[in-house]
Amino acid sequence: MRLDLKEASDRQNDCSTAVYLIDLPQDMMGFRKFISSWVVLTKDYNFLVDVGPSSTIPVLIKKMESLGVNLIDYVFLTHIHLDHAGGIGHLIERFPKLKVVAHEKSKSHLLNPEIIWEGSKKTLGEVAVKYGEIKPVPLENLVDGAGNMVKIIDTPGHAAHHLSFQFQDILFAGEAGGVYLNGLNENEFYLRPATPPRFFFETANSSLDKLLALNAEKICYGHYGFARDANKMLNFYRNQIFLWKDIIKTVIDESIHKSNEEIALLSFKKLLKEDRIFAGYLKLDKDIQQRERYFVLNSIKGFLGYLRREQD
């Protein structure tokens, strides 16, 4: 099986299996090459990994129809943040028999998503409104797994209810391996932690141990794209989170009388200088830089919270 990320229409397959990345751009500055759904088609079943927010379910359905997809058997949700799972209830309206696999901790929220929606509006504000409201998932659509078809790995860190999935030689890592974007220049890519508050460093690191033990050949990211040599990429990410911890701790120690906002900005600047992979930020398109700036600062705040707790 071959994987090609140019466009969903560029199908590469071995006549029995095809994997597509479907971009789900949002109506916000820079929100392209960021949110996506993975579509996997086999001769026996079809499934998705994540569905994106409700705002782009029509886009997802239209692109699947262009691929000739008229049936989805399973949806595997890495976690239930709006940008990954917000459209699941809307998708069920189109595919009422699809089975949804999600973390046990998230099922009650999928059945009654009011807490997710209200919390998302408080945390994300206008971004949540743009993503759109999440609809309930009927109880009969929730299942615990899909037999031996896909391996399910519990990978808390980015969220307590985060799962990763392995299908054949492909690891669908959600945000357990960070946020990625390739194509800056030949052999260059952008990678940064996905560590919003509250972040637990040891938990995220333990999840990386689980993923490395799989020895997958390819890694598919929730944000955005895929890379070959999954373990190499996961080790890059492990080294990165240790580096960020050390750099941000240094900034904290040197900025005793500064606010968290000031420390976050100082950390941002220092990380750009000292993290070669994160420095790919400087080669991103300006609108994507604008988007990433918000999320990078949020990830730094996750480290700040963790390091403050360690000091207490």
Q: Is the pLDDT of residue 16 over 80?
A: no
CA proximity to 86, closest of 48, 124, 135: 135
8 A C-beta contact, residue 150 and residue 166: yes
pLDDT grade for 3, boundaries at 50, 70 and 90? low
CATH of 1-149 given 3.30.70.120, 3.60.15.10, 3.80.30.20, 3.40.50.300? 3.60.15.10
**pTM: predicted TM-score of the whole model, two decimal places:** 0.94
> What is the per-residue pLDDT for 312?
67
Query: How many CB atoms within 10 Å of residue 88?
Result: 28
Tell me the one-letter amino acid at 141: N
The amino acid sitting at 171 is: L
pLDDT digits (tens, 9 = 90+) for 105-135: 999 999 999 999 999 999 899 999 999 999 9
Mean model confidence pLDDT for the chain: 93
Q: Which residues contact 155 (CB under 8 A, 6 or more apart)?
A: 162, 163, 164, 173, 174, 176, 207, 210, 211
Lowest mean pLDDT, pick from 34-48, 182-196, 228-242: 182-196
List helix spans (H) across the chain: 57-66, 82-85, 88-94, 107-111, 114-124, 126-131, 201-214, 230-254, 260-274, 286-311
Task: State the pLDDT at residue 188.
Answer: 86
The interaxial angle of helices 230-254 and 286-311, nearest 10 deg, is 70
**pLDDT-derived band at 226, boundaries 50, 70, 90:** very high
Q: What are phi and psi of 146, to 5 degrees?
A: -135, 45
Mean pLDDT of 271-299: 97
Domain boundaries, the chain: 1-149, 177-312
Share of the chain above pLDDT 70, in %: 94
Handedness of CA 292, 230, 173, 225 (dihedral sign): positive
In degrees, rounded to 5, the angle at the alpha carbon of residue 200 between the alpha carbons of residues 177 and 111 is 80
